[in-house]
Structure 1
Amino acid sequence: MAQELLLYVLVVVIAGLLSLFLCGYAVWKIKDAPGARYYILVTFMSAVFTFAYAFELMGTSLEEIRLWLRIEYLALPFIPVFLLLMCLDYVGQRLKPWICYTLNVIPIITIFMHNTNSLHHLYYKSMKLRSDTPFPTIDLEGGPWFYIHSIFLFLCFMMSIIILLMQLKKSSFKFRMQILLMIAGLMIPLLANYFYINGLSPSGIDLGPVSMSISFLFHGIALVSFQMFNVTPIARDIVFENMQEGVIVLNQNNVIVDYNGTMLQLIPKLNKHAIGKPIRDVLRSNPRLAEIISNKQECDYKISLGGEHVYYHIRFSPVQNKKNISIGRIVTFANVTERVHIQEELKKLASTDGLTKVFNRTFFMEKIEEVFQSLTINGGGVSIIMFDIDHFKKVNDTFGHAIGDHILVHVADTAKKSLRNTDIMGRYGGEEFIICMANTPLYQACEFAETLREEIAKENRLINGEEVVITSSFGVSHAYINAGESQYSIHSLMKQADEALYAAKGKGRNCVQSYRQALGIVK
């Protein structure tokens, strides 16, 4: 075998292996994605065509070469059709089945005309070996159907290119790169065919097989580098980029394959280089959000934007192929800030006493239940203060309920000003209030109660021209709870505070009594 021929055969075989590799890679990685099934078919057909052409080059007789030429034509006529269908599927356009079948009519006729050419010579007028080449090369003179098929092939390629070019303006950067790579891949076989038909190729070698493998290499680069076919591409931009909701698309391996512009506000690290990276890698600085997305945890998510808290509801939608097999998921971030604020306001209204704006009795009990559960686990001291307004019934009877309400609000506001962030205050009923002070010793709770008593008493209220002195009585109870201990209960501690309050009233009101003092135990 001549050295020059060996080099050509080696190049063609490598081209065939490349087509076969890309076919296998597509079957393994993207077989269910848009356009992928036609990519698989066209790379397989190209591999068949290319390997058959390698054997044609090694043929030593006209009959042997014609045999391999017939095998080439079992695949070659369908390649332009599958390329066209791939491009249509890629941009989201679906042809009706009868149109797809019609497109295959000319390739089927071409195969028939090629295999029966010796009967009518409508495909090749003549077939002979060239005498001006260093190794046997077939010289073909095209007949009428040869040119029909050539025009059909050219039209399929041109329609594929036009379809892709029409999407350039609509597309984002990453899809433009895909389109340009695909167009470049489609242009290469056209140029190679031009050289071959016009006798410009070396030694009459058909550059088509090698050119198509290079073409699919361009497609392969788009496939690997820009995630070609991993999402429904191109046409999605019309709706996708205009959505007010943030949307990020992940494949089955939690790898980012797409996102819209709204997501840039939520995840500033998103950019074109994030495409193809695992979501956890992009969210390394935000492990909470990474965990939510990885665990498919539908929930509300709070984020600070421009110094304000904004709430998004994260939900997940599966992406399935036509066989209902999951190939990824869409993560949607819907702005629910208004809804959260309404819910918080409703919760506040449901938990707050309408007059004094402190917790109502029901919600207060829920809050201190949480405190006691924490103390039971971790241990610590807790103090309960119960107090009420002295002779409040007399105030109501003398000045009316409107004045009584005014005094209640005044006392509640005075108490709220003195509370720490960890203290919990509620209206227990009527003129009676209760305060829970976690991790607070008895002496400190008594000092707080005494200070509050003085604050309430020092400012007399002028009612209907008459100065009214407002005083209050306080009862304080305390318990230290060891971790794991269940000896004390909320109700028992509240009962002790109530008994201490009763003792304070027995001492003449306007004073503070602890439960220990009420029992006669020295403080």
Structure 2
Amino acid sequence: MDSLLTTYITLVCVSGVFNVFLCIYAFSKKSEIPGANTFIVYTAALSIYCFGYAFGLAGDTLWQVKLWTTVEYIGMPFSAPLGLLLVLNYLGRKVSGKAAAAMFVIPAISLIMVATNDYHHLFYKSMQLREGMPAALVRIEIGEWYIVHGIYTFSCLLASVVMLLRRWNQTRKTYRLQLATLICGQLIPMTAAFLYLLGVAPGGLDPVPIVMCITSALYIWAMVSVKMLTVVPIAKETIFESMGEGVIVLDTEERLIDFNRAASIMIPTLRPSLFGNTLDEVWKRLTGSPFPVVRHSEGMLEELAWTAEGEQRCYQIRSSVVRHRNGDKAGSLFMLIDVTELKRLQRDLEHLAYYDGLTQIYNRTQFITRSREMMKECRETGLSFSVVLFDIDHFKNVNDSFGHDTGDKLIVHVVTVCKRLLTGDMLFGRYGGEEFVIALPSATLREAAGLAERLRAALEAEPLPTANGQIVVTSSFGAAQATDLVDTLESLLHAADEALYVSKRGGRNRVSVQ
């Protein structure tokens, strides 16, 4: 028995040395290892566990065994949740600070229970030396909290193994060696602990510190040879969930089978409970109508408007076929790209291109473009077409006397008054600084002159109120009708401009025709 005990102590010490080496190695490579702090504390806890157990085996009295058992529990109960955190970090799963702290509540209680066991006997009901055996080999009767501690430790190890095994098929062959090492690093101690709890360990000794020699050696080999923890694979599901674009996955029958976090944010009413329903059925539940996008062609690119939380969003939808390795269709994938801001920017740019920034009526370029089309339609249908050109009288004096801010307000005021008398089929545009133009489809020269007179009278009758009084507004108008001689928009505008100058030379605030 002494020979067996010596061998155990030696192997346990080797395990402790290996873990110290891993701790120092991880500290030296801290900048290269994701989650290095967790691995450093993990290996430090294992080192304390191994050395505490080794010193306990070498103890001569029951008191010394109890002392080193307490030291052992400074590391041992914390190693299992630390290993679980290490696995979660490797798999790319974030753990909040509160959740991480909660994982160490039971280990902390276990440490306190072992240190104070003589006062309550909740961890060990009794510890007695075995007659004729070394002092380290004691007969123990476990207490209630020992069972809690054992279940929790085993659960952490089992959870780590299960999560790593589930990742196996999603891991490329290049990374499976380090994944296998991590699995062994959790599975071997779990198996040894299970055998110890069943009471089949040789000599009643805890085999876990012994097998740690094997797992630590595996870790050393893997970190040096395959860069374990330094080069960590990014799992497919991690990429899927971290994508900024929403992704909806359908099977061959167009039934919803998956979606990522971005899709659930874009469409908040999308829920896992809808899995198994066709996309049309899902959309009917969400909106009352079938999915509005045609989805027969691969590489389809369409747009979808969707209102989320009271705000309308616009998504560009790209489709692609998902295939098995043999080329058979496995399903389809829809990627939703939020183009709301892009569409808003496009609308703003179009508005700037078409409308005057101050008055929000057509600018000169857009007015001419639309008027030319309108004139062509009127000519083809045999209808009359006229234009009215006018400007604000003595506008320069307003700017000089009251400032450009007031001048801008006067321009807006003129547009506001004129809009009341214009109908939807008339084109109204800002032709220049204080000059405006109106295109009148189906209007004769007499009708154009009549509208101009009504506008002139309305402007004169409604002065612009200011802080220091009112500014009376008058305008000079010129009207012209398209004829055989005046057969282009340019010649028509030129004729209206000549009529406008007739009004100016005649004393302003009047209407002239050409």
TM-score (norm 1): 0.44
Larger RCO, structures 1/2 (Cα 8 Å, 6+ apart): 1
TM-score (norm 2): 0.44
